[in-house]
Amino acid sequence: MPWTAYGRGALFRHEIRNCANRRALMSECQTEGGFLDYSEDFYRSHGRRYSEVSHLRVRSTYINTSHPAFKGDMDLQARLVELAPGRKGLDAGCGPGARDVHHLWSMGFDIWGIDAVQGNILEAQRRHPEIADRVSVADLRQALPFPDTFFDFVMCNAVIQHIDPESLKATTLPELSRVLKPGGVLQLMFKNGSGVISVYDRVFGVDRAFLLYEETKILEILKEHGCDLIETGGRGELGGLIYFTDYKPVDHCVFYVRKSKALSTG
């Protein structure tokens, strides 16, 4: 499918994918339990520190962004809740401390969070006991513990980099679509490219490995499940395909898709 099929907002950038501090790792991180096991090891060792850093938001402002309205995580979140048809949401992969779940809950949203790593949920409950009953363990490689058409919006940020392509296509993306209401919005952020990379993360002093995904392939899968790209608004609002580089540095893509109101479930 050509990129033009996704609308005028779908502009693909491939010129910034050669970072000096990363290398191909196509098999190094494959374990008996899958790629997620490798990521779980990181969070078991660094979850408390990760929570502290994320709550400071010092690593949530980005460089080389492709959209003038996008400076960091909070710009994306503000646009998501603006696009959503209601206030019930899910943070799919809320991470240690569930920063965004707590932030949206404090603003009055009916927000829930899940994460595959039990330690991440325990850290969220320790740090924010007031949302302890709103965060739980769930693996995005399996069916989600929510009814069909349950949420007005779903955010899934920096998560699919830990999920193998087979599970992503067969389960993760279909499930994220299933739990969205017709007209609901999914925000998806992922590390952009193909294959697997290793990056030295100077904040934690370790090499970290991530799966990379191509935006065209992700959009094609979501389109099969009734979710279409939201284009850039006429007033310059966030939309289309947005690109940025984080502090590591690694290239990312992020976009919003809306579930068709005409789509029937079952």
Catalogue all structural domains in the chain, each as residue range(s) with its CATH number: 21-259 (3.40.50.150)
- Predicted confidence at residue 43, as pLDDT, reads 66
- Predicted confidence at residue 38, as pLDDT, reads 54
- Predicted confidence at residue 196, as pLDDT, reads 87
- Predicted confidence at residue 177, as pLDDT, reads 98
Q: How far apart are the first and last CA of the chain?
A: 26
With 0-12 / 13-18 / 19 or more C-beta atoms within 10 angstroms meaning exposed / middle / buried, residue 13 is middle
Q: For residues 112 and 87, is the Cβ–Cβ distance under 8 A?
A: no
Helix axis angle for 35-56 and 99-106, nearest 10°, is 50
**Distances from the Cα of 221 to the Cα of 130, 142, 154, 169, 173, angstroms:** 37, 17, 17, 7, 7
Element holding 112 (H helix, E strand) = strand 110-115
pTM exceeding the 0.85 threshold for the entire prediction: no
β-strand pairing of 227-229 with 151-157: unpaired
Read off the DSSP letter of residue 72.
B
Cite the DSSP H helix spans in 61-164: 73-83, 99-106, 118-127
- Predicted confidence at residue 60, as pLDDT, reads 66
- Predicted confidence at residue 200, as pLDDT, reads 80
β-strand pairing of 88-92 with 151-157: parallel
Q: Which two tokens stand for residue 96?
A: 């240690």
Q: Within its chain, how far is the Cα of 121 from the centroid? A: 17
- Predicted confidence at residue 1, as pLDDT, reads 39
Mean pLDDT by 10 residues, the chain (266 residues): 36 36 38 53 62 58 85 91 98 92 97 93 93 97 98 96 95 99 98 87 74 96 97 83 85 95 59
Q: How far apart are CA 125 and CA 131, in angstroms?
A: 7
- Predicted confidence at residue 201, as pLDDT, reads 72
Q: How far apart are CA 60 and CA 43, in angstroms?
A: 18
Q: For residues 147 and 179, is the Cβ–Cβ distance under 8 A?
A: yes
